[in-house]
Structure 1
Amino acid sequence: MTTPTRPGPTTRARIREISGNVARDRRDDLATEEPMEIRLMGADGAHKTLAITMRTPGHDFELATGFLNGEGIGGIAAIAYCTDDDVEPEARYNVVTVHLRGRIPELPSLDRHFMTSSACGVCGSASLDALRDRCSPLPADPLRLTPQTLYGMPSALRKAQGVFGKTGGLHAAGLFTAEGELLAAREDVGRHNAVDKLVGWAAMQGRLPLRGHVLMVSGRASYEIMQKALAAGIPAVCAVSAPSSLAVDLAREFGMTLVGFLREERCNVYAGAERIVE
């Protein structure tokens, strides 16, 4: 029996490079994009598919853990790659089973078996009204950030993007302290997956909630990224690009700081400006 090959974060490809009037064939590294199915197994033996997401392989258990945290599902007993009979051997590293300590909770998201793309995340998976039912505004915290601390975050995150350096095709999320120290960074073709991996890392380290920390993302700040940060207890989110209108609404309602266009010693503060001090 052939042992299934575990996919890696990069894939080699033959390409033709054209520069001016000169063409040459060479190898190139591509960011790997493959599906990952997240299955839930209850303590009573019940099982259900929660989601299928397109992701870059690597830190898969963190991805599943972070995704569940964002959906309000806890009580994880164990996580493993699936070896069920309905999964072909070559696909087993693309199916993760999360074993829960209790029963599978009754949540609307569990009835959708939704497909999430690497580009947009779980589009429309929740609204502000639904979020109010399970999340409260963040408690007051002593987090204060100076502009100089913020200005150092994009370059620190970029230096931690090893796979991006090879492929140029990945988003990143980094977790920073109030002093600007990068604690951990994760990469993925999907910006929301990078955040899930980072939150999953923190959850598996017993660090949640992440009060007093800052989330930095390499792209734009969407509603879903803000929702995931809120579920993890992160009071401040910074993005290299723009936020969406719903992301700003969420930040203002739930007491979060939201910084956009953070680059080259400038930024816009869209919510929670009281945390930014000279």
Structure 2
Amino acid sequence: MRTITKDILEVPIKRITGEQSVELTDSVSVEEPLEIRISLGGDLAPSSAVEKAGCEVSQSKSIAVTMRTPGADQELAVGFLYTEGIISSVTQIAEIKKSGCNVVDVVLNSEMEIDPALLDRHSFIASSCGVCGKKCIEAVSARRTYTPSAPFPSIATEVVLSLPDKLREAQKAFGCTGGIHASGLFDMSGNLVMLREDVGRHNALDKLIGASANSGLLPLEKHIILVSGRASFELVQKAAHAGCTALAAVGAPSSLAVELAQASGMTLMGFVRGAGFNIYTGADAS
């Protein structure tokens, strides 16, 4: 195997076509674990919530290990912390740094109070929702930093239809491997603002939201997010946390994703491909 870039690897393959086989090489997307750790900065004693969670000032707490494509790791960490409700602003981060190849340490401001229930992976769902979809939606609404001032925006049909081609054209890694997800941020006129790729669709969106937070773009009330796969509950949840009111997906949404989008004031579109798309919640496309 040969490394082409930090996110693309060249591997030997045997290509079968009918009864013929040929020895070739193929480019694949790199997938490696990333551990996200948090700690409190300064000399103040930890809050009671942190003490209960076993997170001390002098040591970091591992809160997630995710399989991701290397690159934009700090943005991924910021986006993850934001969409999991652990932080509500990048100003709550005192320092963020890479520790080795696959670890990101995030030092939070010492005065922060941290809910210990949020310090376990997927705890946003597990701790708040149990097995009830209605409680999941209520939990998202309770923890959202932004409430849309103009919910369910209407977006021109030609703008929506133009998004997949613009996303695909900007996907450098997908062009090489054909095996990576993307999340794109567009303005309401359909201009691409930024794009992030990752083998994990949730990671791609976390990277995008982290980059948006670092750039001071939150809330994303005047933007459209396009995801390259389906629209799951978790993707709608992450978009809602970022203040997004327009989410489009190349694939289909789930039932709970539709319910959450409706409750969040979000225009949700699916099967955005070719000459058409479906509107599941929000104003009709103009």
TM over 0.5: same fold?
yes
Gaps of 5+ in 2: 42-56, 130-135
The answer to whether 1:100 aligns with 2:100 is: no
Q: What amino acid maps onto 1:260 in structure 2?
A: G
SS at match of 2:163: helix
Shift, 1:132, TM fit: 2.7
Q: What amino acid maps onto 1:94 in structure 2?
A: N
* Superimposed CA distance per residue, residues 11-38 of structure 1 (whole angstroms, 9 cap, x where no aligned partner): 1211111112221111111111111000
Cα distance change of structure 1 residues 81 and 198 upon mapping to structure 2, 3 Å threshold:
same
Aligned to 1:67: 80
The answer to whether 1:166 aligns with 2:173 is: no
In structure 2, C-alpha distance between the alignment counterparts of 1:56 and 1:184, rounded to whole Å? 17
In structure 2, C-alpha distance between the alignment counterparts of 1:142 and 1:259, rounded to whole Å? 11
Aligned to 1:240: 250
**Of 55, 68, 72, the match for 1:55:** 68
* Superimposed CA distance per residue, residues 157-180 of structure 1 (whole angstroms, 9 cap, x where no aligned partner): 000111011111101100000000
Query: Contact 2:68/2:198 (CA < 8 Å) preserved in 1?
Result: yes
SS at match of 2:234: helix
SS at match of 1:109: helix
Q: How does 1:115-194 map to 2 (within 5 A)?
A: 127-135=136-144, 137-140=147-150, 143-194=153-204
Shift, 1:72, TM fit: 1.8
RMSD: 2.1
**Of 95, 98, 102, the match for 1:78:** 95
Aligned to 2:44: none
In structure 2, C-alpha distance between the alignment counterparts of 1:26 and 1:62, rounded to whole Å? 35
Aligned to 1:206: 216
Gaps of 5+ in 1: 83-91, 116-121
Cα distance change of structure 1 residues 263 and 170 upon mapping to structure 2, 3 Å threshold:
same
SS at match of 1:180: coil
Q: What amino acid maps onto 2:254 in structure 1?
A: S
* Superimposed CA distance per residue, residues 48-100 of structure 1 (whole angstroms, 9 cap, x where no aligned partner): 11111111111111100111110123311221112xxxxxxxxx211110111
Query: Contact 2:154/2:282 (CA < 8 Å) preserved in 1?
Result: no
Q: State the TM-score, normalizing by the size of structure 2.
A: 0.84
SS at match of 1:169: coil
